[in-house]
Amino acid sequence: MNKPIEIAIEDIDLGTPAALSDSTVTVHIDGQAVEVPAGTSVMRAASLAGTQIPKLCATDSLDAFGSCRLCLVEIEGRKGTPASCTTPCQEGMSVKTQTPRLDKLRKGVMELYISDHPLDCLTCSANGDCELQDMAGVVGLRSVRYEEGSNHLEAGKDNSNPYFSFDASKCIVCSRCVRACSEVQGTFALTIAARGFESKVSPSEENAFLDSECVSCGACVQACPTATLQEKQVIDLGVPTRKVKTTCAYCGVGCSFVAELRGDELVRMVPDKQGGANAGHSCVKGRFAWGYATHSDRITRPLVRETTDSEWREVDWPEAIAFAADRFKAIQQQHGVDALGGITSSRCTNEEVYVVQKMVRAALRTNNVDTCARVCHSPTGYGLKQTFGTSAGTQDFASVQQADVIMVIGANPTDAHPVFGSRMKRRLREGAKLIVIDPRSIDLVQSPHIKATEHLQLQPGTNVAVVNALAHVIATEGWIDEAFVQERCDVASFNAWRRFITLAENSPENLAEISGVPAEMIRPAAATYAKAGNGAIYYGLGVTEHSQGSTMVMAMANLAMATGNIGRNGVGVNPLRGQNNVQGACDMGSFPHEFSGYRHVSDETVREQFTALWGVDLREEPGMRIPNMLDAAVSGQFRGMYIQGEDIAQSDPNSQHVADALSAMDCVVVQDLFLNETSKFAHVFLPGTSFLEKDGTFTNAERRINRVRPVVPPASGLAEWEVTCALSKAMGYSMDYANASEIMDEIAALTPTFAGVSFDLLDELGSIQWPCNEQAPEGTPIMHAQRFVRGEGQFITTPYVPTDERSTRKFPLLLTTGRILSQYNVGAQTRRTNNTVWHAEDILEIHEADAELRGVSDGDWIEVASRAGSTRMRAHISDDIPAGVVYTTFHHPVSGTNVITTDNSDWATNCPEYKVTAVEIRPSSAIAVGV
């Protein structure tokens, strides 16, 4: 393993946020001239000039508040001593930050603070990491003159949250936590209750933190200048002593973090202010839910067994590799090379994914390689390539700050992409309009200071009908951006699309009965988007995981092109990727028909490039997708599989079919952290590495390539790519890399969009959004700015075709599935953390009318049955979903939600139709008596 890279982290708090003005002013701070953007605070200007003005209530992630009175300054020509945090710079202003008068005032202020603060610095858990302590030193406070009187020293602690503690006795009521909850996170769970001496921080009107609306993002903990709000890990272990910059391994936001350690023990994860994706914010998973990495369930030694009903046998690496290679070779000899295949994981680094797909193509000599994006965003790949020319979101996350109208389709950002959700909420609070297209009333529809302009609560499976209706209104009302279309798009395809979309069959009146959305809601929504100025579309798996997932992606692309909402800040079509490296796993050539950079295997020129560098002939025909491999296994044609970091037995639809397929194979190799559901069918288990042990890169939903740096050594002794290379060598094809950086160099050499990417450049720039090449040496935040990747934007007609999965008398309800904030996918990671306090089991949400009809009460155990199977879980009566629709999550194997999902899939990509399953619900009591 490489030596962990420790980075000198510049973490100077400039006190107030940056001003965004293009004009500048020059001020003099203690005689030193400094030029700053107009609107910059005196505090920030001083900091930029190298002078840190004492402060307590100010921090550069929050708007100035002006309450602590420690940052007072003198300004020439002005009376008094204004607070530097709330005073904007003006041209020619002359400021003094250090005078005897200011010293006296500051010392007096600090004396008052300290008079009501425990004097336990030496034993305080924040000793050495406390701004109050620092400021007492800065102002030279040596004693407190006040005699003991009324104080808050006996105020109690709230330890209800599993990750942080609230010690009211140490609170100075600076409101940083309250403002962080409001401004950064946008939850407004905290407030200052009462007035004057009685003032105190209060979660949701005097609740304990755990019982409040708090979402445990930790922004309050990060903002707290004292030991009042502090991570329990810091209290238990002490203040960290070293830092490593890395990237979160949960959702597709890909937050940058500073891992803070004592030796090799991780103490806390602090979101990186310089992080391009998250700008210093995080969610409960990224900041706190990393304990799974050292969970006792971790398997760190390779395991093998002859048959799946025999006991696992712990072996060393060489024996495990030889065992797997021998089995794979035997399968090849008996059944041919196409009887084998592999699956790459979006939880792994680009480098790890790249070597797996290379091993499959070069060592196993087949194109039977696929990735877990098959079951989430493969329609994005297909749809955006057809229309725009490449499989990629068009914007960076920061772009949302300039959107005038935000259309959220089939996504739930506050739960599934929470840090981006907070960015979005900030823009919505600033006045951007919001259109939500979703069967469920997600949090964004109505939350503090946010209310959707339109919520189109459609029937599951009718996305295309709704977007066609929106486009019909735009086209027939004359709201097309004709100039954009003429200049940027293929006009013949546009004309064909216009003829199609203006047909009466696509009118909102005609489609209302299908979608359940009245025409009188569609028409204003179309006007809102078309006349937006900047209209931005954000979408998730509620778009892609349908039988028309690919059609829907193309329908959204049509809508954006028709209204000119492509190619600048504030607009675009943006997939919110489910896992941390969905984008990267797709970029790396994980699909069976494509090499890295989305180039088809039949392209002879491309194939020759790979052949030349890899030194092996490559197949020109596409390989099998995951569902094809599983089908072929059941039929006896497909016999062995290498599964990198994916639990297909739990995550893929129609679990019984998956189990049948895995059971039919002669050799299943699982590379993972835990003995997951899939490993029950495995013959070889190769221990994987957690994100804290990985060295490589992740690419997030905005195409941002971030470095993942090893924080601790691999628990198994080997990096995952080293294990893959060892198996490849045992199969007769050597892949020799000294480190992960060399793998990226090979990726760059073979992939035009990554041509300029290297670990050195990533260290220099922090992150890079592809394409990064000669034309864009520092990356590309906004795509299709001058021209589309494919040249001209291609309109594609998108007829609505209903799914085969329909409600019937036997299965009258439509089940749709999703994710909850505290849990992540199949829960392999989050179930092994304290996040289970928020979500210990999957729950079925059901409308009151449907529940009453079936005699189901809130909290009842119920049976959920579909034509694929049945499972049990508890019911929660909710008005978030309409009658006729039920909803659940898929985080827990015990409920096995995918036992009931079917093998229906997207017509173009085979992405499963998780979002529509016809089901019936029965109370468990009815099952018991055979009703």
Partner 1 sequence: MTLDYNQQHLIKMANQIAGNMPTRENVPAQIVQHMAQFWTPPMRADLKKIAENKAESLSDEVLAALALQD
Q: Which residues contact 537 (CB under 8 A, 6 or more apart)?
A: 407, 409, 556, 559, 560, 565, 572, 573, 574
Contact with partner 1 (CB under 8 A): which of 291, 799, 855, 869?
Answer: 799
Of 104, 600, 787, 806, the residue at the interface with partner 1 (CB under 8 A) is: 600
Tell me the two tokens of residue 354. Answer: 């790249």
**Of 817-876, which residues contact partner 1 (CB under 8 A)?**
none
Q: How far is the CB of 806 from partner 1 (least distance, A)?
A: 15
Say whether residue 496 binds partner 1 (CB under 8 A): yes
- For partner 1, the closer of residues 284 and 630 by Cβ is 630
Q: What is the largest CA-CA distance in the chain?
A: 92
Q: Is 816 in the site for partner 1 (CB under 8 A)?
A: no
Within 13 Å and on the Cβ side, how many CA atoms surround 610? 28
622 binds partner 1 per the rule CB under 8 A: yes
Residue 161 or 628 with smaller CB distance to partner 1: 628
Our CB check for partner 1 shows the closer of 240 and 592 to be 592
Instruction: Give the interface segment with partner 1, choosing from 326-334, 736-744, 796-804, 848-856 (CB under 8 A).
Output: 796-804
Q: What is the β-pairing status of strands 256-262 and 265-271?
A: antiparallel
Q: How far is the CB of 622 from partner 1 (least distance, A)?
A: 6
- What CA–CA distances, in Å, run from 210 to 203, 213, 876? 9, 8, 20
- Residue 59 or 547 with smaller CB distance to partner 1: 547
CA distances from 856 to 74, 93, 604, 851, 852 (A): 69, 70, 61, 5, 6
d(CA 545, CA 460): 11
Q: Of 1-9, 99-107, 205-213, 633-641, which segment contacts partner 1 by CB under 8 A?
A: 633-641
Read off the tokens for 691.
């994100």
CA–CA separation, 153 and 115 (whole Å): 10
Q: Which of 73, 63, 77, 139 is nearest to 108 (CA)?
A: 139
Shortest approach of partner 1 to residue 799 CB, angstroms?
Answer: 7
We find the least distance from the C-beta atom of residue 383 to partner 1, in angstroms, to be 11
- Determine, following the binding rule CB under 8 A, whether residue 282 of this chain makes contact with partner 1: no
Tokens of 439: 């069967």
Q: Is 790 in the site for partner 1 (CB under 8 A)?
A: no
Is the Cβ–Cβ distance between 817 and 888 less than 8 Å? yes
Span from 54-62, 176-184, 630-638, 702-710 in contact with partner 1 (CB under 8 A): 630-638
> Which has the closest alpha carbon to 557: 378, 779, 323, 797?
797
Can residue 907 be called a binding residue for partner 1 (CB under 8 A)?
yes
Shortest distance, position 381 Cβ to partner 1, whole Å:
11
How far apart are CB 908 and partner 1 at their closest, in Å? Answer: 7
Interface residue with partner 1, options 262, 593, 790, 867 (CB under 8 A): 593
Q: Within 637-696, which residues bind partner 1 (CB under 8 A)? A: 637, 657
Give the CA count within 13 Å in the CB-facing half-sphere of 190: 32
Nearer to partner 1 (CB atom), residue 292 or residue 500? 500
**Is residue 797 a contact residue for partner 1 (CB under 8 A)?**
yes
Q: How far is the CB of 914 from partner 1 (least distance, A)?
A: 17
- Residue whose C-alpha is closest to residue 376's, from 580, 173, 100: 580
514 contacts partner 1 (rule: CB under 8 A): no
111, amino acid identity: E
SS3 call for 790: coil
Question: Any long-range contacts for 559-562 (C-beta under 8 Å, 24+ apart)?
Answer: 559/467, 559/470, 559/471, 559/474, 559/529, 560/535, 561/387, 561/484, 561/485, 561/488, 561/489, 561/494, 561/793, 561/795, 562/471, 562/474, 562/475, 562/480, 562/481, 562/485, 562/494, 562/497, 562/795
Instruction: Give min distance, CB of 591 to partner 1, in A.
Output: 9
Binding of partner 1 by 918 (CB under 8 A): no
Note whether 632 binds partner 1 by CB under 8 A. yes
Taking CB under 8 A as the binding criterion, the range among 59-67, 217-225, 537-545, 627-635 that sits at the site for partner 1 is 627-635
CB of 573: closest distance to partner 1 in angstroms?
17
Q: In 3D, which of 493, 491, 471 has the Cα closest to residue 482?
A: 491
Residues 319-348 that bind partner 1 (CB under 8 A): 338
Q: CA-CA distance, 290 to 306, in Å (whole number)?
A: 34
Interaction residues for partner 1, span 180-219 (CB under 8 A): none
Nearer to partner 1, 291 or 622 (CB): 622
502 binds partner 1 (CB under 8 A): no
CB of 629 to partner 1, least distance (A): 10
Residue 804 sits at the vertex; the CA angle it makes with 803 and 809, to the nearest 5 degrees, is 115
Using the rule CB under 8 A, give the single segment among 312-320, 427-435, 440-448, 617-625 that binds partner 1.
Answer: 617-625
- CB burial of 139-171 (b: ≥16 within 10 Å; e: otherwise) equals bebeebeeeeeeebeeeeebebbbbbbbbbbbb
717 binds partner 1 (CB under 8 A): no
126 binds partner 1 (CB under 8 A): no
Among 81, 175, 228, 628, binds partner 1 (CB under 8 A): 628
The length of the chain is 931
Task: Choose which of 506, 548, 706, 751 interacts with partner 1 (CB under 8 A).
Answer: 548
Considering only the stretches 65-73, 162-170, 343-351, 907-915, report the one whose residues sit in contact with partner 1 under the rule CB under 8 A: 907-915
Instruction: Identify the residue among 910, 911, 920, 923 touching partner 1 (CB under 8 A).
Output: 910
Answer yes or no whether residue 546 interacts with partner 1 by CB under 8 A. Answer: no
Point out which span in 249-257, 507-515, 632-640, 747-755 binds partner 1 (CB under 8 A). 632-640
Residue closer to partner 1 (CB basis): 366 or 716 = 366
Nearest distance, CB of residue 601 and partner 1, angstroms: 10
Candidates 372, 764, 305; CA nearest to 588 is 372
Pick from 87, 399, 551, 829: which binds partner 1 (CB under 8 A)? Answer: 551
Q: For partner 1, how many residues bind (rule: CB under 8 A)? A: 35
Q: Does 618 bind partner 1 (CB under 8 A)?
A: no
Token digits for 515?
């979608």
Q: Which stretch binds partner 1 (CB under 8 A): 283-291, 563-571, 797-805, 870-878?
A: 797-805
β-pairing, 599-600 with 24-29? unpaired
- Tell me the C-alpha distance between 844 and 859, whole Å: 9
| From 168-176, 274-282, 454-462, 626-634, span contacting partner 1 (CB under 8 A) | 626-634
For 153, phi then psi, to 5°, come to: -65, -20
Exposed, middle or buried by CB within 10 Å (0-12, 13-18, 19+), for 251?
A: buried
Q: Count CB neighbours of 253 within 10 A.
A: 30
Contact 359, 342 (CB under 8 A): yes
Closest to partner 1 by CB, 486 vs 635, is: 635
Q: How far is the CB of 636 from partner 1 (least distance, A)?
A: 9
Contact yes or no for 292/274 (Cβ under 8 A) = no
| From 129, 631, 745, 863, residue interacting with partner 1 (rule: CB under 8 A) | 631
CA angle 14, 171, 236 (to 5 degrees): 90
Q: Single out the residue of 133, 390, 798, 829 in contact with partner 1 (rule: CB under 8 A).
A: 798
Binding mask 737-766 for partner 1 (x = CB under 8 A): ------------------------------
Q: How far is CA 259 from the centre of its chain?
A: 18
Q: Which residues bind partner 1 (CB under 8 A)?
A: 338, 367, 496, 547-548, 551, 554, 592-593, 600, 602, 621-625, 627-628, 631-632, 634-635, 637, 657, 796-799, 801, 903, 905, 907-910
